[in-house]
Structure 1
């Protein structure tokens, strides 16, 4: 960091004070121009977006307006079909005075139509509601209508000739084909529409000052025109090309003239699906954008004023920088000298730290560094289910070799032993030299305690190999190893090292072994394991196993939405035994199937008891081992227990780890599909600690993902853990799965998980696993607020 600081100052003033000042001014000017450019681009983009929004709103309003007018007109024209029915009766019996009377009465009550006339197939008028003068144009249209081949023409209405005189412009003739019951043409019905009625029907529509509504036929003939002032007659002619463009391409035609006045308008076109007419709503662009343009002018003036302020400010700052240049140069020179001194001190301090943390002879950690690292590992170990152990190693007869052959040979021997110890360990293990011929090792994250024995044997065998040609000497040395296991032999690193040291002395005095466990029972072929194995089957029959329950909390409401059932062994002699001790034994001895079935049956029995007692019940999750997934009876037994206790499948869930799927993924997949089909939800436990997580969630019927506690414990301090957790939550949600975070113990973890979108949490922050009497109280409470 100090080298980079000095490098920056050196480059800044490499070419003298004047050049550095010019570069500083150029940088300030460039930054100011970039800021102004960004402001202008933002304002112009905002103006463009607002203008687009105004136009889109106008289009939407015009579309609604045209649709309303079109629907009102459609409903009027549809009423002509009722007149067609009576007209058909009159055409069949022209002397039917009753039908004539009905038609006249209907017309009298219908305010939309002024007159009705009925013509036969020869174009002869057989009925008229009022006297009318002969109209040659109308007669021609009627004859043309009757001459059409009705097999190729869709039955319906057409507009008659539009009146040319102002006095008749309010009346629009409508021609309907009249058909009999056999759908054969019998004549033509003429209805005269009163535009005044249509105007009253739409008088409450909101319109702009320049907004115009046009009704045109399919051949672009204008029927009527309305504005805010009412109906208009004798206005400028329509430009039919723009109407045709709208009809063939898009219901909107932007910035086109509609009338001969050539004023640009925004036009909306609404064509009727039932009748041969269209509604055109248009408004002048200038009126539509009037208010927007005023705001645009104000925004541009404001930005121009801001631009002038920035330019003037930049000029004033330039003068100020020039005045302060000499003082700044003196300060920088002093700062460079100071940084060089700090850099030297930093290098010396780093060397001192390296010497304090690393053994000068072997390159291993020192006592203090080992204690610091091991303490961190043990904090992590308290939150997972893995095994940790401290190995204290002493070299037998080393003092004699060192005294007889010299310290040089002793140093070479220690270096060789250090290399051999490192070769037997993993990168995650921690090794240190405590001084003299003593070494200490912390084994981390082992699956079971038997792995500790394997590592100890390997250390003894490797270190005991002959050391050839050490300063022309061939030597062989044997180690004495003491082992203390976390947390059985201590919860803190100091206690574990002390107990491992005591065990090492016991090993040193023993004649038959080179490593010794602090707990003597583990050195006689695991007496506790043998006792538990012999008593396992009778323990299930005698009811020594009990269930504890840990709640799952929904982060949106802090309600208890589920429980995880955790089995405990209430041993008559050894007290309460946790699963880490007897589950591996059950899997190795084949008792896991029997124990798993007991857990399923006991969970269903417990849920049924809560239900009968009126206690609110939530789904209970059961852990399933890999051996249970090999059995095709698992799904059947789950269903059988649910039916036995009268429970719905939604109240039972199963949890499985990735390691349980490794051996036979296809068999497990078939069984899990059967379970999922029965309605039981499946959760993937300890997600992220296996090797094929993405493959499992893609191919298996997984409903929930449980993030392993190892990623949650340091989520606030570890960027990698935080990224993994956030990515896992996003991945699960995109796949339609819920996410449960395990091992939540602090409010900081809770806040982070809730902000990341996690669905549920589980951990000591809310509740440890508790027996039935305690979980009953939590279920009644329903909610666990942090």
Structure 2
């Protein structure tokens, strides 16, 4: 039973903790999915904003073309637009011969920008065919790492080199607009190789890997999502990308307290289950001990009952049987004989009661001693039982007197034959009774049921009278009871009542 309780409680604990861990994992998964969606949306928004800033470079390039065409209002208009745009720090316009035609800073020369043009288009002065207007190239940062030079080629209507528009894109300013995005976010602007140029972490700008001249992304790589809660979004037409990542620790930080509550509840329930299991095991143990004590008490009671039954049987044996010969005594004989006579009333057969007395027993007992006399009585009882049927009743009334009840006898002649057999068998010499050869004989009185009486006492009285008649007639004989004791038949056997000493 205790093993069943342990297995059941273990199963309950497994279920409780399984549900708890599944619930915690499910909430974490939902939180991660939600964070992934937020970072994806944020990456899309930032990529769109950055793309708008890059598109403005194309717009500036279009105006720069008009500057190269000699439009006097174009330079003023470009200056007005550019100075109000915080996305760019400064800009310059060069014609096809690398002469400076416009500078937002008002400087007479822009050597840094000119060098960028020469690195990007080394054959520009030779009228090499550059890309169409709208081709944007990024250069190596100078000074602040988050300020990236940007080059837009300007072509004439005849597709000749017309000039170049060069500006400095302030990515740091772009990222600074997202400083309030929240803790746990990591935002970076990446170059064509995928390495971060500038990264915003917890409101601080960090410089990524510096790159040289980078090429444009292909148009079919416009968007890419990284595993977990990091989303990478490429600009559609420019060699830049935006990556927004969210620290998983910050994602699940708000869930930590509720998860602690789940675990605490699971611990409380587990303690309750374990306590209940221990209580049940204790109850089971005490019940087992109680059952064991009850079983022990029951066994003791059964043993006591068996002993009492044995004592009862022994007491009944002592009370109902002759202590010397072991055959029924007068009390038991009266009970059994009364029952037999009650049954005899419904039987057509004869029932006969023999009253037997040993001839010359007193001289034997006085001469050879009580020990020999007792052995003689035991031997007589054994011969009587051996000479009769199993269901015939043999008893000792006391002293040297025995009684026999024969049942279900068809003819009176059979009764006489049995009496004659007893006289011969029991009266035969006893050759070795404690070293003595003893001779004795029987005197038998016979009373018939129902002719001579209807009760045990009546039959005993009549048989006793007949026995004395037989004894007076010469001993070693039997006699049927006769009302006048005149018509009885006497059979004599030549016997000697002598007894010999060994």
Per the normalisation by structure 2, the TM-score is 0.48
Instruction: Pick 1 or 2: higher relative contact order, CA cutoff 8 A, min separation 6.
Output: 2
Normalising by the residue count of structure 1, what TM-score does the alignment of the two structures yield?
A: 0.32
Tell me which structure has the larger Cα radius of gyration. Answer: 2
